[in-house]
């Protein structure tokens, strides 16, 4: 079940630029659903030199991608 969502789901930032991300959680009945795997993983990668400010999924296929996992606590 996909109970968690992030907005914006992807994007490109300029150097030193920051952003806020909103996390949404669908309603569910606590105690009746497995919540042990509820987490959000944020992945990031430096863009290639001269790349346009347009998100490209291929940047995350290479091993240069880094990520951080946030576990949701209820």
Domain count, the chain: 1
Q: Work out the pLDDT band at 40, boundaries 50, 70, 90.
A: confident
pTM of the model: 0.56
Q: Which domain holds residue 15?
A: 4-71
What distances in angstroms separate CA 41 from CA 1, 50, 52, one per listed residue? 16, 27, 24
pLDDT digits (tens, 9 = 90+) for 21-30: 898 888 888 8
CATH number for the domain that contains residue 44: 2.60.40.10
DSSP-derived 3-state class of residue 72: coil
Give the count of alpha carbons within 13 A of 65, CB side only.
Answer: 14
Mean pLDDT of the chain: 79
At 67 the pLDDT is: 72
């Amino acid at each position: 079940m996909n109970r968690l969502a992030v907005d914006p789901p992807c994007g490109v930032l300029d150097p030193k630029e920051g952003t806020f991300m909103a996390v949404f959680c669908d309603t569910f009945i606590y105690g009746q659903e497995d919540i042990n795997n509820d987490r959000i993983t944020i992945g990031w990668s430096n863009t290639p030199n001269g790349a346009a400010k347009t998100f490209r999924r291929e940047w995350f296929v290479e091993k240069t991608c880094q990520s951080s996992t946030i576990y949701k606590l209820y």
